[in-house]
Structure 1
Amino acid sequence: MKSDITVANAIGNSSDTFIEKWKEILEVSISGRVAWFQVFFNTTLVMIFVAGVCGNLLTCLVIYYNKNMHTVTNYYLFNMAVSDLLVAFALLIDLNGYTGYPYDVYGDQLCKLNFFLVGILWNNSILTISVLAVERFIAVWHPLLLDKELEWRRVMRIIFFIWVIAFIEALPEVFTVNLLKVRGSSVCFIVPTPFAKQLNGILGLVSFVIPLGINILMYTMVACKVNATQTSYNHSGSQVFNRGNSSKKVNKLVMALTVSFMVCWMPFFAMRIMIYTLDVGRPSWYLRNWDLLLMLMTINCWFSTVLNPLLSLMSVKFRKALKAFWNTKFKRPQ
């Protein structure tokens, strides 16, 4: 019994030591914070919040009210839009955290809860993008495997499991996050304890490397299939499926989806790798500039809530549905 208490105390003391060292590093990093960049950071987050809420709300409404938009792809886009819409409101907590409120009022519990909920919603979006890539691959390469009559139930089951997996992925991170008060700011982020370092190495692989590999592989095969089909019909002279630049449009969409995933989540992946390789006892360039890197990474991650509605606008069908929705719901009859 005494040995168990001794081990528990040792773990607690070790964690406290890491927290104190990490606070010292943040003290040095935040002391170099430039006032104009803080203003830029706050302004950018407010703009992302407004654009994210408006864009994702419109996406949800257009897909919900237009029956022609009730397709497998749009079910997943609807799920992603709901997730991005919800997570956009968590951005306000993240923004106010730099002023000390509301963390000063609700403390470490709110920090952990906010990090956990944001983690679920971000994981949901990442998993949805990967599942959507697999769905498109099956639809193009093996369309007979998809039962049209049961697709609604199948998609709902898949979306349910996406949320379950997102929950499981986010849960361990709760034990790596602490609220640190540094120079009048409340920093709610990961403390690089040995457990946190190992976990971030694993999550970097699970939440970025594997999904990116799936996206690149699936969309490359889809593009190859579309190009091959296009070439075949061009040689045969058939005009049934020859719709001009359809293959170019698919390739552009493929590139946009893959590049957007990399742009939004590469900095967060890099942050996870830095945490995984971090040695708080050895000063380094990214330790001295951690505050700046954290702000840039935060902007990038939150920008994903704006980017998904923009990618939806690449679809001619979605633009027509948006126009019809706007004319029906908002445009005054003349």
Structure 2
Amino acid sequence: MANKTDELVDFGYQEWKKHLDVMITVKPGWVNVLFIVVMVVTFVLSVCGNLLTCVVIYCDKRMHTAINYYLFNLAVVDLLVAFSGILLDLDGFINYPFDFNGLGELVCKVHHFFVATLWNTDVLTITVLAIERYIAIFHPMLLNKKPAQKRVAKIICLIWFIAMLETLPETWTVELIRSSRFSICCFVPTRFTKLISGILCLVTFIIPLGIMVFVYTMVAFKVKSAQSSYSRAEIFNHRNNSSKVNKLTAAMTVSFVVCWLPFFAIRIVFAVELYRYWAIQYWDLMMLLTSFSSRFSIVLNPLLFSLISTKFRRALKNLWNTKIKRHRASRSLIV
């Protein structure tokens, strides 16, 4: 234990504790109320939207496609984030800055590992969606060699495994820091933290974003070049169908940037030690923005999926007419 403490002191533990003393402030009452209201609304919308996505995809066999299997996995991840992330965030925010008061360091690390694994799974799933779209358009024969269900199941298992591998090193950079003014679980800016933050910036944001931009740029060129071989009516239909499919994944890419850019910025802060210069004044704002934006993605994903996908809306309408309405009608006859 002494060696661990000495190591942390050498690499900025005490300095970071002094920074926290300055950065952690008592928030105005209206900020607390606003944050709690926003998080409660986010929780309700997320549970409704993602549960609806899971039910529609599960119940309608026509929705059993590779893309929708990934979206089902994404909805499950978002539901887990809603229950394990938002509810714990609310509890921590209400008790802030003593959100881990009475809890041990093991609880701190396990909590971070679980939530960060869900974040990484979310990022990897959206990235794989883009890759799947690219292969379906440019190399469709590769997807016909194996049944979609088995292939996607293996990829989803691999996504979860990689997400846990990505999270494990970062878990060791998180410590439970206590003082007379606070008791919080956060990163400690050691040399190892800087290295891991830099690597994760590349792996969980820059590379996925690069893949998505490349895929949708190539898809746009493919659609444009294909239009020359169609008649006017065919061009219209082809363009309409292609844009509907690609809008879904492209919109999720935009949501990825909007929702995860603040979290990427936090990692940059630790990777290049920006906290030494300007993060003190903006720490609370950065943490609130990061917490909200990363949680907002669990509402935005099913919302985009429902709004953009005509097939989804048709399946939802069919589910309502054939099962929910019929069930209600049968119950009324019995009564």
Query: Which of 186-195 and 263-272 deviates more?
Result: 186-195
2:175–2:187: 8 Å Cα contact kept in structure 1? Answer: yes
Which residue of the other structure, out of 118, 123, 129, is the alignment partner of 1:121?
Answer: 118
1:6-21 alignment to 2 at 5 Å? 9-16=2-9, 18-21=12-15
Counterpart-to-counterpart distance in 2, 1:12 and 1:213: 39
Which residue of the other structure, out of 293, 310, 315, is the alignment partner of 1:321?
Answer: 315
Structure 1 position 238, deviation (Å): 6.4
Gap change, CA 1:110 and 1:330, over 3 Å in 2: farther
Structure 1 position 247, deviation (Å): 4.5
1:83–1:125: 8 Å Cα contact kept in structure 2? Answer: yes
Q: 2:291 is matched with which residue?
A: 298
Q: Which runs of 5+ in 2 are unaligned?
A: none
2:219 matches 1:222: yes
Q: 2:58 is matched with which residue?
A: 64
2:282 matches 1:310: no
Gap change, CA 1:248 and 1:139, over 3 Å in 2: closer
1:83–1:124: 8 Å Cα contact kept in structure 2? Answer: yes
Query: Which of 173-182 and 119-128 deviates more?
Result: 173-182
Q: 1:85 is matched with which residue?
A: 79
Gap change, CA 1:206 and 1:117, over 3 Å in 2: same
Matched-pair identity in %: 50
Counterpart-to-counterpart distance in 1, 2:264 and 2:91: 24
* Equivalent position amino acid for 1:48 in 2: T
Q: 1:3 is matched with which residue?
A: none
Structure 1 position 33, deviation (Å): 3.0
* Equivalent position amino acid for 1:86 in 2: L
Q: 1:95 is matched with which residue?
A: 90
* Equivalent position amino acid for 1:263 in 2: V
Gap change, CA 1:56 and 1:187, over 3 Å in 2: same
2:233 matches 1:233: no
Q: 1:49 is matched with which residue?
A: 43
* Equivalent position amino acid for 2:215 in 1: M
2:171 matches 1:174: yes
Counterpart-to-counterpart distance in 2, 1:95 and 1:263: 22
State the SS of the aligned residue for 2:176.
strand
Q: Which runs of 5+ in 1 are unaligned?
A: 1-7
Structure 1 position 323, deviation (Å): 2.0
2:124 matches 1:157: no
Q: 2:134 is matched with which residue?
A: 137
Q: What's the CA shift string for 1:94-137, capped at 9, x where partnerless?
A: 22112337733433222211110111111111111111111111
2:65–2:148: 8 Å Cα contact kept in structure 1? Answer: no
1:57–1:85: 8 Å Cα contact kept in structure 2? Answer: yes
1:27–1:183: 8 Å Cα contact kept in structure 2? Answer: no
2:99–2:184: 8 Å Cα contact kept in structure 1? Answer: no
2:283 matches 1:286: no
Give the structure-1-normalised TM-score. 0.88
Query: Which of 128-137 and 139-148 deviates more?
Result: 139-148
* Equivalent position amino acid for 1:50 in 2: V
Counterpart-to-counterpart distance in 2, 1:252 and 1:63: 19
Structure 1 position 249, deviation (Å): 3.5
Counterpart-to-counterpart distance in 1, 2:272 and 2:27: 24
State the SS of the aligned residue for 2:77.
helix
Structure 1 position 265, deviation (Å): 0.8
2:42–2:295: 8 Å Cα contact kept in structure 1? Answer: yes
2:50–2:79: 8 Å Cα contact kept in structure 1? Answer: yes
2:197 matches 1:204: no
The number of residue pairs the alignment matches comes to 323
Counterpart-to-counterpart distance in 1, 2:176 and 2:319: 44
Q: 1:5 is matched with which residue?
A: none
Counterpart-to-counterpart distance in 1, 2:293 and 2:229: 41
Q: What's the CA shift string for 1:226-258, capped at 9, x where partnerless?
A: 222233213xx5639835633443564454122
Gap change, CA 1:277 and 1:176, over 3 Å in 2: same
Query: Which of 40-49 and 80-89 deviates more?
Result: 40-49
Give the structure-2-normalised TM-score. 0.88
Q: 2:69 is matched with which residue?
A: 75
Gap change, CA 1:9 and 1:180, over 3 Å in 2: closer
2:29 matches 1:29: no
